[in-house]
Each structure stands twice: as C-alpha cells, then as structure tokens.
Structure 1
Amino acid sequence: MEEPDMGIPPLFRCPISLDLFKDPVTLCTGQTYDRSSIEKWLSSGNSTCPVTMQKLHDSSIVPNTTLRHLIDQWLQINCSHGYDLDYFQTVDDSFVILKHNLQSKESTFETKVEALEKVLALSENLPFENCPLIQLDFFQMILELALENAVESSNFEDNLMFVEKALSCGLKLLPFSDLGTLNMLKEDESKFTNFLILFKKGTFFIKKSLCHFILTISSSLQLKELLSMLGKSKILIQELLHLIENKLDGSEESIRALYALSSLDQNREVIVKESAVKALITYIMNTPKCLLYRSFLAPIMAMKTIETLLVVQSAKEEVLNHPNGVSEIVKMVFRVSSDNEASESAVNCLIILCQDLMDAREEAICCGVLTKLLLLLQSQCTERTKNKARMLLKLLRSMCTGDQKQAF
C-alpha cells in the first residue's frame, strides 16, 4: 500500500498551535482556531484576531461544525487505509522541528545551515511527497531569513553563503507557494532595502537567484505595485546594467529581469535614464557571431527590451547617438536562424525609429536594411514578421529622395 502524499492538510491546523483541530471555533473575523488556543490568547488580555490582527468588535466564538465534520471524515478515510493520527503527527513533527531550528534565535549558525540543506533535499520531491513544506509556509520563513542575513557584519561572507542556500530553497518552493508572500518587500522598507543590498553586494549566484524572483514578480497581477517599486530603484537598475554591459556571470538573467521590469510603463523612464539602451546595444554588439546567428535567448531578449523602451523619446535618441546603435539593429533584421522573435523585434524597432528620425532612416539604408528586409521576405519567417517588413519597406520608400527610390 502506498503512503499518503502529505501530512495534515493546512486547513485542518490551528494557526496558533499548528496542531490538528480538536474543537474548531470561529471568531467574528471569520478566522478559525482551536478552542483551547484562542481562549488562552483572549484570556491573556488580547483583543485582536491573531491572524488578521483586526480589533474584535465581538468576542464571542462559534463552533465550526462543518470543519469538524470534514476532519472526522478525513480521519476515518485514512484509518480505513491503515493510517492513524499518530502517523501524520510523526510526519509533521519532523517538519515542525526543522522549522523551529531555522527560526529559533538559540540555534547555531551550523544548525541553521544543516536545516536549510535538509529543506533543499526534501524540496526535490515537490509538489506532492513533502507538502508540509508548503503547509507550514517554509517559503515565507526562508525568504525572511535570507533578507535578514543581508546586513553586513564581521561574518558577512558566511552570511552570503547562508543566503545562497536559503535562496536555493526559496526557488524550489516558489512555484508551490503563495506569491502574495513576496509583497513583504513592498510592505517592509527594511526588507526592500536588504533585497537591494543583496543585489549590490551579493555573489553572482545570489544576483541570478534574485533575477528569478523578479521574473516571478512580473508574472503576478497582485505583485504589480512591487514590480513598480523595483523598476524605479536606480540601485537595482544600475546593478542589472553593470552585469549586462560587462557580460558578467548573470548577464543573461539580468536581461530577462530588465525586460520584466520594463513591462510597466511607469518603469521605462527610470530604466532609460540609466542608459539601458546603450548597455543592451553594447551587449548585442559584443555577442560572438556564432551565438548571435543561432537561436540564442539573451540577444533576442535584449532586442525585445530595446523595443519596449523605445516608447521613451530619449531611448530613440540613445540608439541614434550610439556609434553602432542603428547598424546593430539592422544586423538583427535577418539572422540565419529558425527563430523569428529577434527579427520581428528588430523590424519593430526600426519602424519606431524611422517614423520619427530622418537620421535613423538614412543610417538604416546606409547599413543595408533594404537587402536584409528582402532576404527576410524570402525566408520562412512568420507572416506577421513579413507584414512588418513590408510596412518598414513602404515607410522607407515614402521618405526617400528620387535617387534613393531607385534602390527599391
């Protein structure tokens, strides 16, 4: 007989004791607690709900018979399969102890590192076999521990090693955790500050890990305000661009993070002001041709990011002022690759530039854009890309002099 996939379901646990409900009761806030736990809380002089911290306008408690019935059913089903409460309690106790070792101020540094290594090993079996990691909200606790260790001290190097392990665990747990937890960065100024400190002074591994968190933040509507905060941080943008422009370890992750941040209109002005377009063009220019002319993700994402930023007028001027700005975009119009994304983004960039800037049109023509577009139209690219290419050809022709039109 197979063992159950998880321990005690989270809805069956008292938020105060973390134990299985024995006598669940509900407060006026709608939160449910075990009777003994909440009565102890109230008798200690507290007048708020422990979970929501709302003021209790009514101190009465109501038995939650529905939840009690569900727990009884769950116990009966598992007992019929040969599992009793002691089995689940034993399974869960090991996770509770693990969490205690990480949270306790009395735990040594070595004990906490060992606990993180155990969490990392256990998280390899997610999403099913070790659900107590999710039920007991290890993600929030581990993320808080990582941020707490961002503070510089005499053992800062040890702290960074600890942060690396914590972020490794966090990334494993992230897909199965409540993304709203990341709003702690928005709600607590010190945590946001520590996030930036880690990005500025952390190892390359830490910076790459934080880039993954930024990508996750950009994918959630409930984290839109946090994404805006991150995108307006000059410190963060400068660090991302430093990695990109110098092609350091983590530059590819940084490009994806920058693209995610630029998805919000309100972030683009700040990103452009930090010379992001120049850094991205430099990155594309310095990418070896053997990679540029294959389906290589980083240059494609760099081009897509430039396209996104060109809604800002100063970004267009930055392309034009870069010695290789227009020519590098022209080179990306037609690549020997089965991937059309870079070509489409490059064509879109040129459409935006050529509509507004006569110098951009002239430079694009001098750089051989007409030949590139004709090759693109004869390739097996998507119909949408071909339509964009025709649009650019028409735009260039309409703005050419009589002699230049001969080229068409």
Structure 2
Amino acid sequence: MAREKREGLYVTVPSLFRCPISMDVMKSPVSLCTGVTYDRSSIQMWLSQGHNTCPATMQVLPSTDFVPNLTLRRLIHLWLHHQVAMPSPSALSKQEALDIIKHIEKLSTAVSTKKIADFVKYSEENRRFFANSSEAVSGIVAALKNSDEIEFCESIIAILDLILSENGVKEHLNRLILKSDTDYLSRFVPLLQKGSLSSKIQSARVLESIALDGDSQLKIAEKQGLLYELCHLISEETDRFAIEAGVSSLIAVSTSKPVKKELVRFGVVKTIGKILSGAETANAVMEKTLKLLETVATCTEGRAAIGADEECVTGIVKRLMKCSRAATEHGITVLWSVCSLARDKDAQEAVGMVNGITKVLLVMQSDCSAGVQQMCGDLVKVLRVKNSKSCLACYHTKTTHITPY
C-alpha cells in the first residue's frame, strides 16, 4: 500500500545527498582535498577532461586524489531504504503540482516555483508529465510576467531548462515566449546579469532552444541587453559549462550581418582569442567557440577584428588537429577567410610566426572534407609567398603526403 501511494509522488531529496555536478543522488560519494563531495563517476569525468580545479569552489587542486566518503554513503543508503518503506510527508503528487501552477500567477513566490522545480527534477516520468501538459507549461511561463524577483524567475527558468529535451517543448516555448504580446525576454536580462551561475547557464540554454527561425533569432538578438550579457557570460565566467552554453546561444542567434557586427563591437573576437589561448581542453567548448568565430568571420568587420588580434589567430593555429575534426575545419575556415579571402597581412604574419603553414599541411593530408582541403591549398599558396624564406616556400600544394618533423 505504501508503495502504491508513493507512485506519482515526489520525495524531497536532501541537498547533501546530491552530487554538485550531476545534481542526482550520489551512488558512490567521494571527497576531494577541498572537502567537497561528488559522485565518483561525475568527478572522474571532470578530471579526465583536463580540469585541475574543484568544480564547486574553483580552487586549484594540489592533488586530484579523492577518498570514499563512507559516512555519507551509509546515510544515503539508509535514506533510500527509508523512502522505499515509507513515502515522505512532503511528497507532491501530479495533481498537487497542477494545482500549484493554477494559482502560481497569484502566489508569485519562489517557494511555490521551487516545489514545482523539485517535482520536475525528480524523475523522467515527472518531466514527461509536465512537458505534455499544455496547461502546466503555459502556466509556468505566464508566471514570469508577475514578478521580477530573481529567485522566483530562477526557479521558472530551471523548470523550463529541465523539460527542453521533451518532444515539442522547444516549439511550445517559442510560441509562448516569442510569439506573445507579453515581453518575457526582458526577464532573461537580469538573470544573466545577477543570477546564480546555474541560472545563467539555464537561461542561455533556453534562449538557444527557442531561437528556431529567423524571426525568433532576430527578436532575441535585438532585445536590449541580451546579446551583450551573453557576450559578457563567455568573457567573464571560467566555468566550461557556462562558456559552452553562452557560445551555443550566440551561435543560435548570430545569423544576420547586423548581429555579427554587434558581436564584434562587444569584443567577442578578443574573448574567443583568450579562450583559444587558455588552458581549456574540452572538445565541445573548442568546437563551438571556433564555430562562433567562423560565423563572425563571414562579415568584413569580423575578419578585420580577427586579423588585428594576434592572440586569436595564433590560438586558432594552436588548436588545429588538437580537438575534434569539426573544430579543426572551423579553424581552417576562419584562417582562410582572414588570410586568403581578406588577404590580411597581419594575420598571415601571425600564422607564419607559429609555423602555421606546417599545421595547415597536416590538416590538408588528414581526413577532412574536400572544401577544407581546397581552403588549405589556398592558404599554403598565400602563406608560402608571405614566408618566402621558409623551406616550404617551394612546396607544391598538390603533394598528398609530407613527413612532419
């Protein structure tokens, strides 16, 4: 009977039992030297990506060793056993969740939205239930217009972020947020300015997800403050997930020439140069960052800004063949746009200074697309003329194999 009653209910999970990275109940809690505890699989993945910091505190780790937190594991085990035997008195049923949403516009309190956020976060079944309820999704979005309290808005954005992967949700949110007479986009600006790190990431992901067509992309990009705050997010935050979310959102909305020019004005080229030259090694971050740079390089102002930023140009060369195939192809496209198409002499000089011609030749003989191979050939012609004193000055671009030294 107790188990039947528990079906469809949400049991509040003590925050101490959740992994700070995955936000799931920890199966094998381990502690770093900073004293912070994570689930073993989550922290192993973080460290394997080349990070040397504690994700929660961002302290540099003098040691990446971790030890099992046996006490906490025992507490989690006892708690899970207790939940199977007896449902929590604070459990929330699906009907209770809908009832809260019906009155949420009048309540407009962070406590009410937090309950819904916890309900949606708890299980895939709850997320699917919420996403399939047009009344629930419409109600939670409508609540945004009644309060500008940061904590209240953060809970709503957290709910929307949790259901983004469910079928039809992105299209539904696009209609509710962008095709309505209510200015819901204005709520995203203070979240990106003053919200927590997680809410900034969630806001960027929601914006990316609703940028489904040209009109939607333009509406987001033209909303005063949004484009600037997204640029600020990737320039000021060091968290890889924040950078990735911000860059992805900028890629999604940067489809018109005026928007690309604005990105240049906001210093996105300089920001990307710093990212490329930094210690970040995550392939997803590098791939998306170079894709954004490729987008910016399609306008005259973008090519000029890239050519004038030596750190950016050398950063591109540094990342060639070091990340994914897609990242390398984005990098070659940017170099071709600046060095070959725009004939930027400063950029050509910068590429030559870091032995870029050898890197381009290596890409040329790799498993890249025909278009990228052609761009590599154009780059070799331009760069060997610019660096005529190089031993590669007479290298024939149709050669299919070289032996790098």
Alignment of 1:3-402 (within 5 A): 94=96, 96-105=98-107, 110-121=111-122, 124-125=124-125, 130=129, 134-146=132-144, 148-149=146-147, 151=148, 159-174=149-164, 175-176=166-167, 177=169, 179-186=171-178, 187-188=180-181, 190-218=183-211, 220-221=212-213, 224-233=214-223, 235-249=225-239, 250-285=242-277, 287-288=278-279, 291-292=280-281, 296-335=283-322, 337=323, 339-355=324-340, 356=342, 357-381=344-368, 384-397=371-384, 399-400=385-386
RMSD between superposed Cα atoms in Å? 3.2
CA deviation map 1:191-238 (0-9, x unaligned): 2222222222222111111111122123x23xx323212223452222
Q: Report if aligned partners of 1:102, 1:115 keep a CA contact under 8 Å in 2.
A: no
User: How much has 1:307 moved relative to structure 2?
Assistant: 1.0
Question: In structure 2, what residue type is equivalent to 1:274?
Answer: F
For 2:225, what is the secondary structure of its paired residue? helix
Cα distance change on mapping 1:109 and 1:185 into 2, 3 Å: closer
User: How much has 1:116 moved relative to structure 2?
Assistant: 4.2
Equivalences, count: 297
Q: Percent identity?
A: 19
Structure with higher Rg: it is 1
Q: Which runs of 5+ in 2 are unaligned?
A: 5-92, 396-405
For 1:125, what is the secondary structure of its paired residue? helix
Q: Report if aligned partners of 2:201, 2:245 keep a CA contact under 8 Å in 1.
A: yes
Q: Report if aligned partners of 2:336, 2:376 keep a CA contact under 8 Å in 1.
A: no
User: How much has 1:97 moved relative to structure 2?
Assistant: 2.3
Cα distance change on mapping 1:328 and 1:114 into 2, 3 Å: closer
Cα distance change on mapping 1:283 and 1:401 into 2, 3 Å: closer
CA deviation map 1:114-163 (0-9, x unaligned): 34433444x631576x36x52343112212324533x2xxxxxxx43333
- Cα distance in 2 for partners of 1:231, 1:200 equals 16
TM-score (norm 1): 0.63
Cα distance change on mapping 1:95 and 1:319 into 2, 3 Å: closer
